[in-house]
Amino acid sequence: ASTEETKNEFPIPAGVFEQTVTSVEHFTDRLFKFRISRPSSFRFRSGEFVMIGLPNAEKPVFRAYSIASPSWDEEIEFYSIKVPDGPLTEHLQKVKVGDTVLMRKKPTGTLVNDALLSGKRLWMFSTGTGIAPFASLIRDPETFEKFDEVILTHTCRDVAELNYGKELVAQLKNDPLCGEFAQGLRHYCTTTREDYPFQGRITDLMASGKVFDDLGLPPISPEIDRGMICGSMEMLRDTKAALESFGLVEGANNRPDTFVVERAFVD
Ligand code: A2P
């Protein structure tokens, strides 16, 4: 091999899978998705996250990424922000089909069906790349076995940032196998910095009641509704407070309750 080819070759750390990129799609200058091959021994629950990195240093930088594909899928999908000087994303945003991505072996997370008590309606609240764990869960039939109705809310700064979710839901509803179970899914999109039929932060839309009017649903109640939240730290704090104001209680894997929270990947 030439010097050019070998200069970026570092030993693969212990406890990680070395996987191959199978597809890359850029949505905006801030957002992209990519898929990697799935190790045959890798098991996870839909909604969990895993640490990923690149083989570009002696000690690669690893970051937590929600797995956006469902647990039955033969590939692993991720949905990522691109941060210009982000220690991982400045390199990750340049990955191409055939490149290597490192993935730690142990998935974990609280946005899983097991962490919620059963209920009638599941609300998934997301902003930005916080939609990723829900991209996994809405493609898993188990979610619809547990809930009659699933409402995925997604709020982004502008309209183009909603496209990943819109494509996903359209594909899901048209899929011959998944389409049937996904009939109970409703997708509620809003923007905060560009004109769109539905506008505003989800926290404000819950406080005013507009989201419930728009969907033709009663306000959230602990008897019927369950919640999952994924977004920035501030969004988690404010959405959690909103759900608590409706009487919901935060749960965990070892203590299921009426809502669960997880921070979206940031840099
Ligand atoms: P806003 O435009 O008013 O800040 P980001 O890309 O910065 O992560 O933001 C994604 C979306 O989350 C934006 O629409 C943003 O609205 C919204 N957002 C930011 N902070 C909060 C919060 N504390 N509660 C609810 N939504 C939020």
Q: Both 93 and 141 in a single domain?
A: no
- Report the pLDDT value the prediction gives residue 172, as an integer from 0 to 100: 95
Q: Identify the domain boundary among 70, 104, 138.
A: 104
Place 207 in a pLDDT band, splitting at 50, 70 and 90.
very high
Please give the structure tokens belonging to residue 46: 């839909």
Q: Both 160 and 247 in a single domain?
A: yes
Query: Ligand 1: does its nearest atom lie under 6 Å from the Cβ of 157?
Result: yes
Q: Both 193 and 231 in a single domain?
A: yes
- The residue whose C-alpha atom lies closest to atom 12 belonging to ligand 1 is 127
pLDDT in tens, 190-206: 999 999 999 999 999 99
pLDDT in tens, 47-74: 999 999 999 988 899 999 999 999 999 9
Query: Ligand 1: does its nearest atom lie under 6 Å from the Cβ of 238?
Result: yes
pLDDT in tens, 18-30: 999 999 999 999 9
* Spatial CA neighbour of 153 closest among 195, 181, 121: 121
Q: Both 195 and 216 in a single domain?
A: yes
- Regarding an ipTM greater than 0.95, the answer is yes
- Report the pLDDT value the prediction gives residue 8, as an integer from 0 to 100: 54
**Count of domains in the chain?**
2
Place 6 in a pLDDT band, splitting at 50, 70 and 90.
very low
Q: Both 86 and 147 in a single domain?
A: no
pLDDT in tens, 121-175: 999 999 999 999 999 999 999 999 999 999 999 999 999 999 999 999 999 999 8
Domain harbouring 210, CATH code: 3.40.50.80
Q: Identify the domain boundary among 74, 104, 134.
A: 104
- Which domain, by its residues, includes 162? 113-263
Q: Both 222 and 187 in a single domain?
A: yes
Position in ligand 1 atom list of the atom nearest CA 81: 6
Q: Both 90 and 180 in a single domain?
A: no
Q: Identify the domain boundary among 104, 135, 167.
A: 104
Give, for ligand 1, the residue of 79, 82, 192, 245 to mutate: max count of ligand atoms closer than 8 Å to Cβ: 192
Place 42 in a pLDDT band, splitting at 50, 70 and 90.
very high
